[in-house]
Amino acid sequence: MQRAFDAPAAIQSVDGAQVRAAGPGIGLSESMSRVPGLVVLDRQNHAQDLQVSIRGFGARSSFGIRGLRVIVDGIPATMPDGQGQLSTVVLPAIERIEVLRGPLAQLYGNAAGGVLQVFTREGASPASLGAELYGGSWGTVRGGLSGSTRSGAFAGRIDATTFETDGWRAHSEATRRQQDARLSWDAPTGTRVGLVANAFTLRALDPGGLTRAQLEADPRQAAPAALAQDARKSVVQQQAGLTVEHRVDADTRLSARLYGGRRELDNALSVPLSAQLAPTSSGGIVELDRRYSGLGLQWSQRLRLGGAVLEAVAGVDLDAMSELRRGYLNDAGVRGALKRDETDRVSNRDWYAQLAWHVDPEWTATLGVRSSRVRFDTDDRFVAPGNPDDSGRVDYDAVSPVAGLAWHASETLNVYANLGRGFETPTLAELAYRPGASGLNDSLNAARSRHAELGAKWRPIAGGRLDLAVFDIRTDDEIVVATNVGGRSTFRNGGRTQRRGIELAWAQQLAPAWRAQAALSVLDARFVDGFGVGASSVAPGNRLPGTPGRRAFAELAWAPAPAHGPFAAAALVHSGRLLVDDANTDASAAWTVLNLRVGLRQQLGPWRLSQVVYLENATGRSYIGSVIVNEANQRFFEPSPGRSWYAGVSVAYVFGQR
């Protein structure tokens, strides 16, 4: 496995210890601000996933994660249409998270504006059992149980967590249950087999976004429409995946993955009843039953050609999902008449190849290509007067090449340059309707992008690292909102956009007990072309909404001993303002918050104990943590809480130790 420092790309790794130390384990927004180029916004709304973007890709998503690829233990958490989610990841189980930005991410296919790969812990020896309990502001309680073992060639790990909160805002209560297991077997024939399985259950109320006037009157209130329609979400998901890696010889490997899952959703929206009565409305309650599966095969070969080394990788990915989608009237939270009944299918067929030519110890050239085909198919069974048959099919094809050159100047300095092309299809939700007509929006093109990146990684002194990346991304046919009326959104292509930026990451062990870390991102993301008419017109040069012009993180941590004794840390997180729509009519203000933590660890024979207290937003800053881009009713703003506290205890028993 290649070290992140040696990889010829902008890639950062956050280890599981940092994830678990950064907060009470409610969401990845606690820990991922330390990665430049990555923005993870806590919406204070557990009915919606975190708002995640990389270099501006994914910022327009009003729910879920789009524009990025998410992979957990080798299994995609992104559907073939590019829509994904992170909420099913069990934070205490994480070993590390790798974040890949830039042209090489395009080799992961559709909607790969960046890639988040989550790796969970394997079972370890000696065997252990653990438990933890956290509580704090806004009626928040989180508990967890874990177990880990290894015996010979077999290893197993299981984690289960529960989370409940009353929520900082009105109508934002949530309950979440998660279970995650991982088994592995190292066969004597050079074959490694892994099995992962997880389950996720969520019940959450949805407070919705606030208008500017509502925000200024009371940021803790829920949107009146959310209360009137009892907006809420229920999710049940189960998934299992199998990975197999076989080492043919020292230079040849074959690997495969097979996975499948089911996701059931019941989502009551805040659409007023009057807007649901139109013949073309799909109602205000969404009922979804999704089945998904996939197969991946990969071959890798290492060849020695004189003084050079050639590493080749080739593979194929086949993924599919099928969902039964129904819509009903929502009358003050009560399910009414059927308004939508259809089966939607999305599949992709991709093949890819990559060559890394190590010309000599100093120079490496990389060439890669991925061919993707994504098919959307809808079978509409709800045909009524004024609502014709919306059945249809749309296909998208793309070839995404990448090329790069890396200079390994020394053991402490790597310099690289990359070029690549990528594409992003509309999601199924974005294709569902077209302006002024029925059926799939087959006039909506996939967005095509060209990426250029120059970067360097430097280890100036022991225990330190400095990463720098500059980039330029130009996109054709950027996908934007066209209309949003009566709960039915349509999308169009908004012409060309440009993203330019610089990313800096620094970490240094200052002394045996002190470590500092910092990250800085500067992003200029704009529309090159104007589009639209009237009050909603977008002028050339307008900024892409939801993309902060700057993002910064700094942390100073103190731990005299790595495994026992006291520890403490202080972290600053800064975000530039967030524009709320394509027309740039309003924006949230820039903000900076201070987060503190202090704790104590003990080792008592086989027992490992820890106590920690977190003080988040220690200065009590009032700020808007995220915005809902292009919200039709101008309910753009999702405010964040003031000063919050959490405290936790954990205990683990390690068998065989005294």
Structural Rg of the chain based on CA atoms: 25
Distance, in Å, from the CA atom of 100 to the CA atom of 114, rounded to the nearest integer, reads 6
Distance, in Å, from the CA atom of 320 to the CA atom of 292, rounded to the nearest integer, reads 6
Range list of H helices, 176-326: 212-217, 224-228, 273-276
With b meaning 16 or more CB within 10 Å and e meaning fewer, what string describes 225-238?
ebbebbbbbbbebb
Q: Which long-range contacts does 571-578 make (Cβ < 8 Å, 24+ apart)?
A: 571/22, 571/33, 571/595, 571/596, 573/33, 574/550, 575/39, 575/548, 575/550, 575/551, 576/548, 576/549, 576/550, 576/551, 577/548, 577/549, 578/545, 578/546, 578/547, 578/548, 578/624, 578/626, 578/627
- pLDDT at position 437 over 70: no
Using CA atoms in the order 85, 86, 90, 95, what is the torsion angle rounded to 10 degrees? Answer: 130
Locate 350 and state its tokens: 């991709």
Residue type, 6: D
CATH 2.40.170.20 fits 10-654, yes or no: yes
Locate 128 and state its tokens: 């252990």
Query: What tens digit of pLDDT does each residue of 620-637 get?
Result: 999 999 999 888 889 999
Query: Rounded to two decimals, what is the model's pTM?
Result: 0.94
Distance, in Å, from the CA atom of 284 to the CA atom of 88, rounded to the nearest integer, reads 25
- pLDDT at position 1 over 60: no
Least reliable range by pLDDT among 77-81, 257-261, 292-296: 77-81
Query: What tens digit of pLDDT does each residue of 464-486 get?
Result: 999 999 999 999 999 887 766 54
Closest CA to 396 of 434, 351, 443: 443
Sign of CA pseudo-dihedral 76, 77, 82, 86: negative
Distance, in Å, from the CA atom of 469 to the CA atom of 520, rounded to the nearest integer, reads 11
Contact between 202 and 254 (Cβ < 8 Å) = no
Sign of CA pseudo-dihedral 149, 262, 376, 632: negative
Taking residues 422-438, report their average pLDDT. 82
- pLDDT at position 654 over 90: yes
- pLDDT at position 316 over 60: yes
Distance, in Å, from the CA atom of 11 to the CA atom of 101, rounded to the nearest integer, reads 6
Taking residues 388-417, report their average pLDDT. 93
649: Cα within 13 Å, side-chain hemisphere: 3
Residue type, 460: P
Query: What tens digit of pLDDT does each residue of 205-220 get?
Result: 999 999 999 999 999 9
Confidence (pLDDT) at 348: 96
Confidence (pLDDT) at 240: 97
